[in-house]
Structure 1
């Protein structure tokens, strides 16, 4: 999981969509886009606007990801445990996890394996900050694969908040609201691209 180290040095202005507008702390909805001169009658729907992430947010994501990598498998399992706890219907979508207790899930090698695949996609997203075209292609492909798995589009939005919940205690004293917002905005972006390839 060390491929993001080189990304730190590659962050360049304009390489990834950058938002100069303020951010609000609402998970998995698009950033506030105001003052763009578009009337409400002609403005695009909020879900049609591709979310953006600032250079500062990319730095915060990279900084915290380096910390998370030391305990990434625990973060992944905790993320899914929290997801299944808060959204029990989602657990039943995963055939290997259907009907399993929390204790069974915590010790499940299948859950750990799936969690690691998800976090590998997160790492690849971070490593592609300097190549937005490659990032979008990767996320579109990931979304298309989820169609084959019969995943519901709405479920894509659920991962971000659970991931943030799982990494906050790992990052510890370095965790700040700005970092939380950076991760939230990254997951909005990931979710937006994936969902676009899941709905045609």
Structure 2
């Protein structure tokens, strides 16, 4: 698992400090963008509230629970910047779970784009090119581990 530079860690921690305190609204921005980029992803969410539209999903308490979980994963990554390998098993398992519910790995790129969009919207002028790159570096580490888990789950199913 790759490591982040000290500068990347500093930028990520500083930007997450305020965002991490109010996770759900920021997560809603992120998922709204994700569904703009790929409306087909709505079909992966099966709750008592039908997720036929972005608004349906975003008004579903069950979906908002999912948003919270995603934001907690980001929070965990930020909290473990000095020891990202400690999250590897968790991220591998998360990749397996995503493969099992029909998420394809191409969607990981759209999630990354949505994360950057949320950061840009939320941070305004504090969202700089170095900050964007720091988050991209972190996200690429997270996605690499999740993708390994995703692929491993697919291999297990083929056996």
> TM-score, normalized by length of structure 2?
0.84
The answer for the alignment partner of 1:160 in structure 2 is 112
Unaligned runs of 5+ in 2: 153-159
Instruction: Verify: 1:128 aligned to 2:128, yes or no.
Output: no
Match of 1:76? 27
Match of 1:104 among 34, 50, 56: 56
1:3-18 to structure 2, matched below 5 A, reads 17-18=2-3
Does the 8 Å contact 2:9/2:134 carry over to 1? Answer: yes
Contact kept in structure 2, 1:147 and 1:198, CA below 8 Å: yes
**Contact 1:17–1:54 at 8 Å: present in 2 too?**
no
Gaps of 5+ in 1: 1-15, 19-52
Equivalent residue for 1:139?
Answer: 91
Q: Within 2, Cα distance between the matches of 1:141 and 1:133? A: 14
Query: 1:161, CA displacement in angstroms?
Result: 1.0
The alpha carbon displacement at 1:99 in A equals: 5.1
Distance 2:57 2:37 in 1: 15
- The CA distance in 1 between the partners of 2:116 and 2:72, in whole Å, is 16
State the partner residue of 1:56. Answer: 7
Q: Which has the higher helix share?
A: 2
CA displacement, residues 45-68 of structure 1 (integer Å, 9 cap, x when unaligned):
xxxxxxxx3221111011000021
Q: What does residue 192 of structure 1 align with?
A: 144
Quote how far apart the aligned CAs of 1:98 are. 5.7
User: How far has the Cα of 1:119 moved from its partner?
Assistant: 0.9
Q: Is the 8 A contact 1:67 1:171 kept in 2?
A: no
State the Cα distance separating 1:17 from its structure 2 match: 3.4
The answer on whether the counterparts of 1:67 and 1:170 sit within 8 Å (CA) in structure 2 is: no
Preserved CA contact (<8 Å) 2:77 2:84: no
1-structure distance, mates of 2:124, 2:51:
33
Deviations 1:83-126 (A, max 9, x none): 11110111112223765233323322222111110111111111
C-alpha root-mean-square deviation of aligned residues, in Å? 2.0
Greater Cα offset, 137-146 or 177-186:
137-146
